């Protein structure tokens, strides 16, 4: 357990010897931000001091207990017990059973369930945005914006649920025709990154669900509370509609759980978002079993500025593209290629712009860089 504050080694020993076990536990729990009245809104998302990181119709978790920290102040937020390999096995079995139910639900009705998920997310948009600011470190506006991305793709998916394409082909046989029908794959696994823990899962799950697939989600180890909070919202909608909660299963964990997903033939499609080196490893494991995968990996983006460019737009665009999300996203601009005739002006104005960039508490509305 991490120790916070300034103490000498001797004073630590003295403190531990003079406190009762009950008092020590109380002090340890009260050091979590979730127990601070300032962050009481965390409990509105169904979070507590100790949370389960596995869900497959019921909550569990028998793996390692981890603590989620706020990157802005290094303070512990709450604890999460991760999924173990045994929990993973329960989740994959429950997901496959849930798929037998979900795939039989007509697509427009699946769209209605997903629409209700969007409404539930709208209700909790502000709290989820604040949770992202607290656990991820991005500013509040970006946190809420990411939740809105999830809601927006849900709106698209709801429309899609009534417009599945399928061609009708002429047949060479009299009084016959050929019909094309798309069928769901089954279990769709999603391994998401820390920098967009809500939107990336939303992009994958919204489309997958209306198409008749079920989700098995492993969020980033550093943002487990976001994964738990989102799953609680989705499971409440499924429960209200008398549907299996395992339609949206969660197996929060580390590389061990990710490896199980990549190698498991029961995961019909695996979506991975993260670094290029890890994405390469994941793709190799999935290819070894002739599986399907989607990869969204890192980039090395550049802005090319010609001599006739609008310098004002260049500076504004570069500042946003470089500093947005604290520079930690796949679309972050990492290089500027400047024509020599505008080089000095662009650099000078960028330096001035960076000097005005407000860095601080991501929950503060005045902060521009978390």
Catalytic residues: 296, 330
The whole-angstrom separation of Cα 79 and Cα 117 is 26
The whole-angstrom separation of Cα 237 and Cα 243 is 9
* CA dihedral of 317, 323, 327, 330, whole degrees rounded to 10: -20
Could you tell me if 95 and 214 are in contact, meaning their C-beta atoms sit under 8 angstroms apart? yes
Burial readout 57-80 (b: 16 or more C-beta within 10 A, e: otherwise): bebbbebeebebbbbbeebbbbbb
Burial readout 198-236 (b: 16 or more C-beta within 10 A, e: otherwise): bbbbbbbbbbbbbbbbbbbbbbbbbbbbbbbbbbbbbbe
Nearest residue to 257 via CA among 50, 74, 86, 95:
86
């Amino acid at each position: 357990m991490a120790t916070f504050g300034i103490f000498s080694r001797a004073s630590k020993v003295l403190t531990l010897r003079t406190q009762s076990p009950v008092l020590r536990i109380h002090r340890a729990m009260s050091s979590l931000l979730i127990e601070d009245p300032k962050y009481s809104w965390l409990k509105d998302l169904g979070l507590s001091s100790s949370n389960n990181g596995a869900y497959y119709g019921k909550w569990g978790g028998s793996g390692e207990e981890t603590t989620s920290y706020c990157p802005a102040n290094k303070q512990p937020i709450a604890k999460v017990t991760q999924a173990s390999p045994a929990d993973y096995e329960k989740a994959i079995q429950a997901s496959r059973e849930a798929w037998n139910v979900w795939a039989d639900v007509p697509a427009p009705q699946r769209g209605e369930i997903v629409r209700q998920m969007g409404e539930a997310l709208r209700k909790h948009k502000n709290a989820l945005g604040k949770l992202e600011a607290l656990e991820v470190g991005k500013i509040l506006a970006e946190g809420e914006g990411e939740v809105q991305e999830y809601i927006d793709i849900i709106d698209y998916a709801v429309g899609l649920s009534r417009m599945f394409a399928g061609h009708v082909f002429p047949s060479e046989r009299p009084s016959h025709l050929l019909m094309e029908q798309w069928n769901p794959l089954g279990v769709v696994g999603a391994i998401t990154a820390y920098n967009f823990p809500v939107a990336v899962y939303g992009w994958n799950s919204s489309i997958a669900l209306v198409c008749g697939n079920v989700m098995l989600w492993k969020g980033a180890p550093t943002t487990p509370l976001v994964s738990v909070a989102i799953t609680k919202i989705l499971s409440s909608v499924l429960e209200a509609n008398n549907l299996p909660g395992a339609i949206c299963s969660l197996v929060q964990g580390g590389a061990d759980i990710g490896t199980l997903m990549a190698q498991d033939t029961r995961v019909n499609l695996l979506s991975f978002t993260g670094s290029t080196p890890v994405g390469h490893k994941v793709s190799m494991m999935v290819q070894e079993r002739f599986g399907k995968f989607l990869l969204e990996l890192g980039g090395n983006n550049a802005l090319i500025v010609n001599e006739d460019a609008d310098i004002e737009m260049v500076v504004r665009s570069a500042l946003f593209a470089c500093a947005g999300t604290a520079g930690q996203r796949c679309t972050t601009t990492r290089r500027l290629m400047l024509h020599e005739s505008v080089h000095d002006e662009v650099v000078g104005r960028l330096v001035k712009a960076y000097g005005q960039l407000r860095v601080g508490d991501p929950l503060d509305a005045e902060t521009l860089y978390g």
